[in-house]
Structure 1
């Protein structure tokens, strides 16, 4: 393979430049290092003061995309849906949950420096007064029946809220039941038994009168939601940290856990972004430390000189600092993908130094002077290094024209970083070799980096046949390649915000992901609702009109009838116990109650309620046993605790019920502004919201829901639409970037090599490695996502380096057989690949799944590149060499 004359001229020009540069760096070490260190200090200071972090996932894509345009319109009309925190409060009873949420929302509302708005809709006086109007007429009638049945019991408790009175009243109810009166007191029996059992087991559980009186399911989760719009501090790395800290401090100050047994969790887009940023930054930080340690170990094995390792690490750190300063100047911030640039740089930035130093060491057996060895090593490897820097930069720069702005920023930063790395390497390494030179070494055939390839090179046709078969199998796997649209899968699955968000997604009634559709008027909202509601993918459609209760006249009549039937005495405030009952007196009330319950359990006419009666009987017998086995003072405390848990929530329940029975007719004007503004914008836009019928945490369910809604409302926006459309845009951007990278690398190779056979030899292993990597995603069930999809275009730029070094060395020294694998070039390729794999592999340990998957996929790709370069490429070179040698 002869080299064209014009290429010799080009080579001589680059050689002269490299020789002059290396010689200058070698002769002026002190001044150059001082200048570089001064520039590094200034660059680091500038970076620390000015580099920010952008966590907005939507902003990582071009604003010109249709879904971004729809999103901008939606955010302009209804900004209160964006950048929110959702506080989820759970407690053992609905009353406790409501009280905890009321206290927390009131407390946070006073902190106007941290929170713009605090919305607790269920706590609004409007819903407290008119909440029953949103129930059906049958539900209201059932409530009336429940209250009527409970009236004697409640009246008795109001007069004397004591265990003595309560047990007597309960015994009377059981007696009436046995006499033939129809009473539904099984739920009360279960609730009382549960309260007694809880106290006997050492934990407290208040009885929920709301659950009993309103016939609610006692085992359903009791949740209340508070929606906040925090004032984010973008001058900080974690803009939401102050707001989230304030919330946790408020819950601790109010002692919600001890007072109400309340559990507070924080989710919403702001909390998810905060968790993702935290895991991404911590993951990048940990990966960076691991990468530096791993790279240092590999360098020590490769270079066999601690001084040389220090030299390379100094070069690496200087290049990293200058690249970070460039990122600050050119972009101004890092995003959740470009934040990994440091680890990428660590994995790639040492390659140039390894090739230069190993060639320098290999020349030691010739007997040249130190400067001559440096100049010769620079001439021998310099051209390859320049080609590699350019092609790697092209691999990164290919992201710039795409609509995936997040990766485009990574391309700008890392692409330029590769050029910076080359300049720093060719400056620092020669300069420091004057004082910390690597020891010249000779490389033997038994070098561990070339044993396996040498064995297989005896059978080049077999290697290529196996490669063709593997390529065919890989092509068959391509239709099964998946893209994971779900942004939640990019977050730490153990994070509180993610787990809470997924819990809400599983409940169609509470799904935080929905389709938001702004329309021009109420008539359009009604027509759209009629189109979307019948869709199987849609659970329900909500608009402002749905907050106007139906059948209000009939419901108001029913509520008035309930109020009249109960009378004013029903809502008399609960009075303190009339007198102090001794333990013996309270025990005396248990005997007739137990006798009546035992009769009830034996009554075949009451088989259904008999189970509840038996449960309560067991609990009361256990209570008697506990009273007999404890000291008097402990017995008194036990009974006092049970009494408190039985009646503590009754006053709150009766007060809220009394308010709910004062409902009045509701129209749009009477709706609270906090609610109306969420469904009607100041410009007159009405909001229609479609909720998914299934859990759209699943990619296929997400796609079906979004496409179904888009058929009738192409202007639909919000999270599910952003996720799906962003995924489609990212896939398109990936294809564009891969194509641009391939075209750019082809042009660069043609301009630098000017030989079609050499270009093919360089590209074939690279394309094979890319094909095998894609097939590996199918076999190993590693779907592409918003982060790891950069792998293939990136591998084009990274992986081509090894092919270039191998082909260039083979052409210039006419080596195509196993001897090529005995050179410093093969050794440098092997250890460069190891350092790159360590750099990328360290990302696998990140708690951020997106970053971890990127590291895993890049590591797999580098492994395939190494195999193709050491197995497939030498076999190809041998065959081409034999064919050319034949007459």
Structure 2
């Protein structure tokens, strides 16, 4: 068997590999002991130093202009970064306001976990000035209703319970004002409805805010939001886990679950945490399936449990060493570089399979297992070394790019190729010598497996079909797209994602809003006007939005309200609770007064309904009815009394927590720009960003980051592709010394890539930030496969055929193990992970077809100095 290369240097290298492999197997015990010690050291180092940076903002270089804008925004408004949005859902508005104040107060007390806890409904300033945010007509209508209710508001202020209701009913019997009676009838009717539900065993409460505002009875869930910046641990796989657990612990301790509340979490911190959980859950099932498939493929392909175990141990050792190198060099892994394991497994197993099968092929020629291992090293060492160099160049090509996440992946994976080469030429021979006593004898494949490439006419036909399919695929591939929106990678069943979409549907949050910084209030006013005039902009919010308009008119109405309502709140406020005796007396008084009002022209129907509802209430249930009717009243009357003290508002009078969300300490003003149309439409989002940046080049926020990050990623891949093609091409020319042979290696790679892009376009499976690692893996595997077959053909004697050796079997087996390892992740519930598994399956399958069908046909036509019959 001729060596794998054609020059003296190649012979010397092959002989050196053979001597090294022979030395390792003769001293197998020493090699494996040293391997065990290094692995133990690496494992210990990783156990104490392994860290994963889950901050997605670090994936792209901070030197990029849009990243600079985002960093400037984060520095000016740190309280808005890495937020956790706590969503409190309650059965009605009174319960929601009461609950959110309790929850916000409890969270604020945990300053070891939460920073800057903020909720508008909990802000005393906004509660005091809340009436100023009403439309003047709405405020006038409210004043009219409260004027009509004034006669009995004072009574309920002092006695917010059944006793006060009894006194109010006595006053109503003497009232003659139509408006007052109308308001009273509405109150009694709502009370009757609540009492009926309580009597039937339901948990009901009278919603006083609806009554005071003249709104229909609350129906469905009412939401209130608390925004906080949790202290995140980016060294953990779940940086927000401590904060999330603390929210739920507080809610449980405060009894929110038993009071009919529901606590949900979203915001960037919760979304990232749930995404990682989704990936972990999906990878659990995929891992079990992958392990089963890989074991089955290796057992079938290698026909030796000892050989399979040797490959597995070599793989684990290489992974440990590569991971330790990564942490030593970088300090931590990121959310993309953790995928180095995917690349390492696929390529390291490829190295091991080629070595093992080549040794088995020699064993099939009748030589001893020891000599077979040495000859296997001589025969495949050159191609493995070339593969390691070319693949590492492909990975290292990302280092100069601005895609930091992929650059770090490239560094680790590139180093990993040399680790894999060393392990498969050092550890694997030692393991095979000990664990494999009788090697399976592989005498190579047969050209019968590839009959179509054994005849010149068939070879031409295959090449022509390959060229035509590549041309058509190139045209179709123009429709392939890169999905830049990370929202499309989320698991729609994740709690934080469900919550976010619910809030988006209700128009409560706008995750696709852009942000612009203005240098001062004057510039902010000018910019707001210019941005609002854009066709793609729906509205612009800024600090000016927080200052109500028409304040003189509204304050005049509030002053008038204070004149007729103020005296009602002079007396000390009472409490809902009554003693048992007082409850019984109050219930009897209410019933008597209701009977007297039964024939009243305006109040009769409502009084009769309430009387019937209370008729079935015994003394023991009186407390439940009292609580149901009046629990929320004191809080609402307190809010009303506070709102009568409202005064003029301006930017200077806003509370710091609120003002600081739009005006930084350094005087920068934040503008919140909402896009019109559907921001999840890529084209609509690009138009919005283009128009936005034309007016405000420093714009940032989700839309800008999505679009600009996509551009940066595409630029990174373009740059890396040019470097890879040039670097790999030069190495292959130096080794092969024939341009035709270099092109033979590249041809199936290019065709497989075009096929993959075309299927991506036809199947509408876009590339994204998760599955993008398929591209370097496809390049690495395809180039390696081509190198193995071309170099094997060059090393064959005259009349030999590479396709009749174990090399194509090794290629096929390597591809099947890669598919078995990672194809199963398409079953993951996480869309990004699933798409990675799907595209990887497509890419590797097409790569094998190109290598085992198209490449032999090309070699038949263009390697005429070798007999291909």
TM-score (ref. length: structure 2): 0.90
* Match in the other structure for 2:254: 254
**8 Å contact 1:362–1:440 — kept in the other structure?**
no
| Structure 1 equivalent of residue 399 of structure 2 | 400
Equivalent residue number for residue 584 of structure 2: 580
**Count of aligned residue pairs for this structure pair:** 859
Are 2:842 and 1:860 aligned?
A: yes
Other-structure match for 1:732: 715
Q: Distance in 2 between matches of 1:5 and 1:870?
A: 19
5 Å-filtered alignment, 1:19-34, equals: 19-34=18-33
Q: In structure 1, what is the equivalent of residue 34 of structure 2?
A: 35
Whole-angstrom CA distance in 1 between matches of 2:767 and 2:4: 46
Deviations 1:638-681 (A, max 9, x none): 66534432222111111111101110122333221222222222
The 5 Å alignment of 1:133-148 reads: 133-148=132-147
Q: Deviations over 1:804-829 (max 9, x none)?
A: 22222233326899x65442111111
Task: Output the aligned Cα RMSD.
Answer: 3.7
Q: 1:64 to 1:174 in 2, by over 3 A?
A: farther
Q: CA deviation at 1:387?
A: 1.8
Greater CA drift, 382-391 or 173-182: 173-182
Given that 1:143 and 1:213 are in contact with CA atoms closer than 8 Å, whether structure 2 keeps it comes out as yes
For 1:262-661, list aligned pairs within 5 A: 262-280=261-279, 287=286, 290-437=289-436, 439-443=438-442, 453-454=450-451, 459-508=458-507, 510-569=509-568, 573-574=573-574, 579-580=583-584, 640-661=623-644
Q: How far is the alpha carbon of 1:618 from its aligned partner? A: 9.7
Give, in whole Å, the separation in 2 of the partners of 1:830 and 1:744: 26
Q: For 1:223 and 1:415, locate their aligned partners in 2 and report how far apart those are by CA, in whole Å.
A: 50
- The alpha carbon displacement at 1:838 in A equals 1.8
**1:288 touches 1:343 (CA, 8 Å); kept in 2?**
no
Structure 1 residue aligned with 2:238: 238
Residue 791 (structure 2) aligns with? 808
- Deviation track 1:231-259 (CA, whole Å, cap 9, x = no partner) reads 23345443332222222211111112223
Instruction: Measure the CA separation in 2 of the matches of 1:852 and 1:859.
Output: 11
Q: C-alpha separation between the residues in 2 aligned to 1:256 and 1:741?
A: 58
In structure 1, the residue matched to 2:661 is: 678
Cα separation, partners in 2 of 1:53 and 1:588, compared to 1, 3 Å: same
1:769 aligns with 2:752: yes
1:840 aligned onto 2:822 = yes
Q: Where in structure 1 are there 5+ consecutive unaligned residues?
A: 602-612
The partner residue of 2:808 within 822, 826, 851 is 826
Distance change (3 Å), C-alpha of 1:122 and 1:64 = same
| Aligned: 1:850 with 2:832 | yes
Distance 1:345 1:180, change over 3 A: closer
Instruction: Tell me: CA distance 1:138–1:359, structure 2 relative to 1, closer, same or farther (3 Å).
Output: same
> What residue is the counterpart of 1:107 in the other structure?
106
Change in CA separation of 1:588 and 1:769 when aligned onto 2, cut-off 3 Å? farther
Do the aligned partners of 2:5 and 2:382 also contact (CA within 8 Å) in 1?
no
Verify the 8 A CA contact 2:490 2:831 in the aligned structure 1.
yes
Give the superposition deviation at 1:432: 2.0
Aligned residues of 1:19 and 1:375 also touching (Cα < 8 A): yes
Contact kept, 8 Å, 2:92 with 2:219, in 1: the verdict is: no
Q: 1:798 to 1:816 in 2, by over 3 A?
A: farther
Which deviates more, 771-780 or 755-764? 755-764
Partners of 1:17 and 1:868 lie apart in 2 by 33
| Structure 1 residues 575 and 828: alpha-carbon distance in aligned structure 2, compared to 1, 3 A threshold | closer
CA shift for structure 1 position 735: 1.9
Equivalent of 1:781 in 764, 788, 806:
764
What is the Cα deviation at residue 409 of structure 1? 0.7
CA distance in 1, matches of 2:740, 2:725: 17
In the aligned structure 1, how far is the partner of 2:688 from the partner of 2:220? 27
Partner SS for 1:88: strand
User: What SS class does the counterpart of residue 401 from structure 1 fall into?
Assistant: coil
2:205 paired residue number = 206
On the 8 A contact 1:171/1:596 being kept in 2, the answer is no
Between stretches 749-758 and 176-185, larger displacement belongs to 176-185
Deviation track 1:382-430 (CA, whole Å, cap 9, x = no partner) reads 2221122222222222222211100111111112112101110111121
User: Is structure 2 residue 708 aligned with structure 1 residue 704?
Assistant: no
In structure 2, the residue matched to 1:229 is 229
Give the 3 Å change call, closer, same or farther, for CA 877–723 of structure 1 in structure 2: same
- How far residue 752 of structure 1 moved from its aligned partner, in angstroms, is 1.4
Match of 1:607 in 2: none
Moved more, 843-852 or 94-103: 843-852
How big is the shift at 1:83?
A: 2.2
- Going from structure 1 to structure 2, the CA distance change for 1:596 and 1:167 (only over 3 Å counts) comes to farther
Secondary structure of the residue aligned to 2:8 is helix
Alignment partners' CA distance in 2, 1:620 and 1:741: 86
What SS does structure 2 have at the residue aligned with 1:540? strand
* Distance (Å, rounded) in 2 between the aligned partners of 1:503 and 1:40: 49
Tell me, in whole angstroms, the C-alpha distance in 2 between the residues paired with 1:165 and 1:844: 66
1:268 CA displacement? 1.9
The DSSP-based 3-state class of the residue aligned with 1:246 is: helix
Structure 1 residues 111-151: Cα deviation after superposition (integer angstroms, max 9, x where no partner): 22222322233312211211111222112112112323444
2:194 aligned partner: 195
What TM-score does the superposition give when structure 1 sets the normalisation length? 0.88
DSSP-derived class of the 1:258 partner: coil
Deviation string 1:50-69 (CA, Å, 9 cap, x unpaired) is 22111121211111111011
State which drifts further: 558-567 or 637-646.
Answer: 637-646
**Partner SS, residue 256 of structure 1:** coil
Identify if the C-alpha distance between structure 1 residues 881 and 33 changes in structure 2 by more than 3 Å, giving closer, same or farther. closer
Match of 2:121 in 1: 122
Of 587-596 and 506-515, deviating more is 587-596
The question of whether the paired residues in 1 share the 8 Å contact of 2:163 and 2:583 is answered with: no
Q: Is the 8 A contact 2:5 2:735 kept in 1?
A: no
Asked if 1:792 corresponds to 2:775, the answer is: yes
Deviation at 1:95, TM superposition (A): 2.0
Instruction: Compute the displacement of 1:17 (Å).
Output: 1.3
Selected match of 1:872 from 851, 854, 858: 854
Residues 1:323 and 1:193: Cα distance change in structure 2 (over 3 Å): farther
8 Å CA contact retained: 1:571, 1:654: no
Shift of 1:283: 5.2
Shift of 1:453: 4.4
Paired with 1:174 and 1:745, the residues of 2 have a C-alpha distance of 97
Once the two structures are superposed, what CA deviation does each residue of 1:349-402 show, in whole Å capped at 9, x if it has no partner? 211111111122222232212222112211222222112222222222222221
Structure 2: runs of 5 or more not aligned? none
Residues 885 and 378 of structure 1, relative CA distance in 2, 3 Å threshold: closer
* Displacement of 1:4: 13
Contact residue 445 and residue 809 of structure 2 kept, 8 A:
no
- SS state at 1:210 partner: helix
Cα distance in structure 2, aligned partners of 1:70 and 1:256: 41
SS in 2 for 1:682: coil
Name the CA shift for 1:443/1:46 in 2 (closer, same or farther; >3 Å).
closer
Compared CA separation, residues 357 and 700, structure 1 to 2 (3 A): same
Q: Deviations over 1:577-612 (max 9, x none)?
A: 6651699987788889898899999xxxxxxxxxxx
Q: In the alignment, what sits opposite 2:95? A: 96
SS, match of residue 750 in structure 1: helix
The 2-side partners of 1:431 and 1:651 are apart by 82
For residue 191 of structure 1, report the CA deviation from its aligned partner.
4.9
Cα distance, 1:333–1:491 mapped onto 2, change above 3 Å: farther
2-structure distance, mates of 1:600, 1:589: 11
Other structure's SS at 1:435 match: helix
Taking the aligned partners of 1:262 and 1:336, their CA distance within structure 2 comes to: 35
